[in-house]
A and B are shown apart, each in its own frame.
Chain A
Amino acid sequence: MKLIVNGQALEIDASTLAELLAALDYEGDWLATAVNSDLVHKVNRAEFQLSDGDRIEILSPMQGG
């Protein structure tokens, strides 16, 4: 499946958001996820089905002003 993850085009075998995170070695409860500009709660990642061309954002805490 072709996905855009944090702005990078990837070809990856993952059908759900949780599978994508595992495949890319993302783990931790400090991560937030969005698909096509909408928040996907962490409790919904396992059921969230990805589609070809989806844009995924994976964010974590950073310094801010």
Chain B
Amino acid sequence: MFELLGTTLPSRLFLGTAQYPSPAILADAVQASGTSVVTVSLRREMAGGRDGEKFWSLIRSLGTRILPNTAGCHSVKEAVTTAKMAREVFGTSWIKLEVIGNHDTLQPDVFGLVEAARILCDDGFAVFPYTTDDLIVAQRLLEAGCKVLMPWCAPIGSALGPVNIPALRSMRGHFPGVPLIVDAGLGRPSHAATVMELGFDAVLLNTAVARAADPVGMARAFGKAVDAGREAFLSGMLEPRDVAVPSTPTIGRAVFS
């Protein structure tokens, strides 16, 4: 169980809903993963269109919590307005705040992010900021009112996994009481297990599951990896050593010469 912002979540895996081969596979992947939070977005609706209604109906049938995002927003104004529109449609004050700073890398504009976070926190939102692993930015986000942080571990959709483990470890150490959710860049279940072993509270991923050859199987694998990583973190892992240490007792060993 994961206590987050006064809510008890059965799973520490947050799952995106984009890029699946079909709505049915999306639904099956959500179920297989065991996730209790899915991310959604808002996009322009065609005149007379019903695509949004169909998708919204599917999402509601999943029975999970919903974390809307501001994906694609490149300015504070865009992100703030999108967040307010999402709150009205989805009926939640949770918002995954993205203020993108670069089209190619999709890295966050951390200055705009802090500004937008302050505006939205003051307006009653529970802001989940998509940020980097920079400690000073993280501190500014907390000062702006964020109660949770979502650092990347690699660029969105890259599948590179945690490319800067010392930075993630440092972040975990600097903010021991803050829920930290690794968002973006995870490619394999072992990546998820790695960041969970570092003590991160949860992970959010999408592409690695949705674009797998078998999204349902991959969703299940990620669910297990997140659980395994968390249990390993809580169980106290052995520190690496530079010398060999026999695991079989040497006392009482037979001598044949």
Contacts and interface: CB of A to CB of B under 8 A. Distances in A.
Interface of A: 5-7, 24-26, 28, 30-34, 37-39, 41-42, 57-65
Interface stretch (B46-54, B134-142, B144-152): B46-54
Contacts of B42: 32, 59-62, 64
30 contacts: A6-B45, A24-B47, A30-B89, A32-B85, A32-B88, A34-B85, A39-B88, A57-B85, A58-B45, A59-B89, A60-B43, A60-B55, A61-B41, A61-B56, A62-B41, A62-B52, A62-B55, A63-B17, A63-B19, A63-B20, A63-B26, A63-B55, A64-B16, A64-B41, A64-B42, A64-B69, A65-B18, A65-B39, A65-B156, A65-B207
Interface of B: 16-20, 26, 39-45, 47-53, 55-56, 59, 68-69, 71, 77-78, 81-82, 84-86, 88-90, 156, 206-207
B86 A32 contact: yes
A39 B45 CA distance: 16
A41 B88 CA distance: 7
A63 B56 CA distance: 9
Given A32-B86, A61-B40, A65-B71, 9 more contacts: A28-B52, A30-B53, A31-B89, A32-B42, A42-B88, A57-B44, A64-B39, A64-B69, A65-B69
Contacts of A26: 45, 47-48
10 tightest A-B contacts by CB?
Answer: A60-B52, A64-B41, A65-B16, A65-B206, A32-B85, A60-B45, A63-B18, A25-B48, A62-B43, A59-B42
B41 A63 contact: yes
Contacts of A65: 16-19, 39, 41, 69, 71, 156, 206-207
Contact of B47 (A25, A38, A57, A64): A25
A8 to B, nearest CB: 9
B89 A60 contact: yes
Nearest to B41: A64
A59 to B, nearest CB: 4
A58 B69 contact: no
A59 B40 contact: no
Contact of A64 (B40, B48, B56, B84): B40
Contacts of B56: 30, 60-61
Nearest to B183: A65
B184 to A, nearest CB: 8
A6 B16 CA distance: 25
B69 A61 contact: no
With most chain A CB atoms within 10 A of its CB, the pick from B18, B41, B45, B78 is B45
Nearest to A60: B52
A28 B52 CA distance: 10
With most chain A CB atoms within 10 A of its CB, the pick from B44, B77, B207 is B44
